[in-house]
Amino acid sequence: MTGNNGSLGGMPTQYVLPDMPYDYGALEPAITGEILELHHSKHHAAYVKGANDTLERLAETRDAGDFSGLVGLEKTFAFNLSGHVLHTIFWDNLSPDGGDRPDGELATAIDEHFGSFDAFRTQLSTATATVQGSGWGVLAWEPLSKRLVVEQVYDHHGNVGMNTTPILVFDAWEHAYYLQYRNVRPDYVQKLWNLVNWADVTSRFDAARGSGTSLTVPST
């Protein structure tokens, strides 16, 4: 499935499943190789296919001039695109050499916007562990007020403040942990902290702050 740059009905494929940045077994014992392989090669792959398939359906909709199914297609596209984006970030956010705490300006920003690292950690852990149904806990950069925020995302695309940029994401879907942790999602969340690749989070933080996406109020 990786590297699928084929075409769908003459349209170039828009989304491609990325290779993992480490072996499937690299995050053991926190996450088993079996879970990681299923998670990447089946679940993440399905979101990539879903996003591409929905783009194709949207093109067919435009060609036919029949937009009666647009509401469902737009929801399906948001779901699959967001699933693809979040999983892509999630793999890079984790590392066999992860853990500890951030330093530098990211650490300062966390202290400023959450009070302390421990308070931030508790908020993100709780947001991840208490998502109703399936979702994510997300640390994001909010460009309007130029601050870090924690978002509790439903499915892949609900409960999100528009224009926020995720920089650290914790997958709270059962497919991420149930084979190993059963129903004890908080234990899985605590293990994730030992895998966080703060260098990756820091690079995303720096890119989000410097991307020039801060909103401006139009003068007219």
Q: CA 36, CA 175: separation in Å to the nearest integer?
A: 9
Binding-site string for Fe ion from residue 2 to residue 21, where x marks contact by CB under 5 A and - marks none: --------------------
Q: Are 26 and 32 in contact (CB under 8 A)?
A: no
Decide: residue 188, CB within 10 A, 0-12 exposed, 13-18 middle, 19+ buried. buried
**Closest CB to Fe ion among residues 156, 209:** 156
Of the candidate spans 5-13, 63-71, 122-130, 167-175, the one that interacts with Fe ion by CB under 5 A turns out to be 167-175
Instruction: Tell me which of 79, 141, 173, 205 binds Fe ion, using CB under 5 A.
Output: 173
**Closest CB to Fe ion among residues 107, 129:** 129
Instruction: Assess 171 for contact with Fe ion (CB under 5 A).
Output: yes
Q: CA 38, CA 42: separation in Å to the nearest integer?
A: 5
Structure tokens at 73: 């297609």
Instruction: Assess 177 for contact with Fe ion (CB under 5 A).
Output: no
Helical ranges in the chain per DSSP H:
33-38, 45-64, 70-93, 104-114, 117-129, 178-181, 185-193, 198-210
Instruction: Assess 47 for contact with Fe ion (CB under 5 A).
Output: no
As measured in angstroms, the least distance from the Cβ of 191 to Fe ion is 15
Q: Which residues would be at the binding site for Fe ion (CB under 5 A)?
A: 171, 173, 176
